[in-house]
Structure 1
């Protein structure tokens, strides 16, 4: 039986990246640039994308099927939308070398990590990941080797996850110059519901509310509205699946935000300008504590 060879310091002999878009192509580029992988195999769902990937210098091989892509891999990185990650794990499970490690880049971790562990138990190891990185332009052609540099990457092992495999995944991301934060999957989902999923909901619903107003208003949009609603331009189908998988935590974050908004509403109704200013000052103080974007 083939076995995935142990990596040293986050360096793998063979990695496979499934469904590379912006993140997957950036993983491939970064792994080659920083020497974290000696060989990189890719698989994309669409034949025309596979053909385009074959000409890239940061890719050693393009496979026609997921199973073929992972047959010699020590590490597999699944970069598909969150609702396609577990089906891909099932698809490759029988072909994975014994002891191989599978990770992903999905923004919801609880269900994916639990089901991934079950699907691979006894043969390979699933360790969830979530890079807090992105760019204005998506698609594999916009991948960058420095996308993860000084950006947070969550690594989310379960209690029962093989500790050595979790350490190797963390070392891999560290080799790509990311800053790794290790959390249990449910703790991760609570955090990202507030700092990632809620902002998406707010931007999208703000635009949806404005769409009910005079259509001419959009022509007057300044920097404030454009900055606040930039992420409303994200793929609705992708975000529908994210909100579906993290429903409970997103609901809690929305309700918490509603309480804050109702507090501002009461202060305005009561002409309590001291409270209005206090709310605005709390918001500014929190925003000022963000660390600089690399």
Structure 2
């Protein structure tokens, strides 16, 4: 059990961390900090929150574990801001969907005896805001924990144990390996869903009213926050470009097969896709 848990900038993920920590008894005390004063007022009345701090440093001052839930381009800045206030032995983690530079810069930002260990729960939603947080959001979902070679092993173990306590299945990878993986399994699907809808938006808008479940299922994540995803794509640009180029090769293969009336190849592509889809983990 974490003695004192601090959560900075709680949106969907941060509020879910707090709710889950309270539900599963993973923290004795939970302190939150939100950037907007009106949100801090709203959070004070939540039963899964023991205190709301006025500044990030105040929230983290006595915390044994601080979870930074800000957008990926703000995580290092917040980590640097709280660094002087952290008690000896404190651990800082995050929930950002890009890890390489965040882990390297986060590690550098902390003084000796304080530890940064990157995390990324694969448990988001197209919804945003703390009011959508759920105690079961991480249940049976994968959370990446991404220590650097120089990361203190006990700190990495503590972060992994925390996510396990919230019901998550922990997967350990180096930060750069994580970024390659999520470029293909998370960032590429977002780009495909968004560009599909952007393309269809150029057609007759009434067409959407005739669609069945296929378009809704395929395009669900196109409803995600564009500003948030613009930042993620900026941070993981190189890996996303590699994933896009590999996907373009596959798409061009389908285009060639159709153009050449190579129905054997068309079916082969469809069968490879179905075989991959059928091996997904069961939905929790």
Task: State the TM-score, normalizing by the size of structure 2.
Answer: 0.98
CA–CA distance in 1 between the matches of 2:7 and 2:28?
13
**Residue 80 of structure 1, aligned match among 48, 70, 87:** 70
Matches within 5 A, 1:1-294: 11-294=1-284
1:121: how far off? 4.2
Q: Secondary structure at the match of 1:93?
A: helix
Name the structure 2 match of 1:8. Answer: none
Structure 1: tracts of 5 or more residues without a match = 1-10
Q: Counterpart of 2:73 in 1: which secondary structure?
A: helix
Q: How far off its partner does 1:218 sit?
A: 2.2
- 1:199 CA displacement: 0.2
Q: Secondary structure at the match of 2:84?
A: coil
Structure 1: distance between partners of 2:82 and 2:198: 40
Please list every run of 5 or more consecutive structure 2 residues that lacks an aligned counterpart in the other structure. none
Q: CA deviation at 1:149?
A: 1.0
CA deviation digits over 1:11-62, x for unaligned, max 9?
1110100000111111111111111100000000000100010001111100
Q: Greater CA deviation, 66-75 or 121-130? A: 121-130
Counterpart-to-counterpart distance in 1, 2:116 and 2:228: 23
Shift of 1:134: 2.3
- Do 2:257 and 2:265's aligned partners in 1 also have CA atoms closer than 8 Å? yes
Distance 1:241 1:139 in 2: 17
**Cα distance between partner residues in 1 of 2:209 and 2:26:** 48
Following TM superposition, by how much is the alpha carbon of 1:147 offset from its aligned partner in structure 2, in angstroms? 1.0
**Dislocated runs of 4+, deviation >6 Å:** none
| CA apart distance, 1:221 | 2.2
Deviates more, 1:14-23 or 1:139-148: 139-148
Q: CA RMSD in A?
A: 0.9
Worse-superposed segment, 208-217 or 265-274: 208-217
Offset at residue 277 of structure 1 (A): 0.2
Cα deviation for residue 136 of structure 1 reads 4.9
The 2-side partners of 1:30 and 1:230 are apart by 25
Q: SS at 1:154's partner residue? A: strand
TM-superposed deviation, 1:87: 0.7
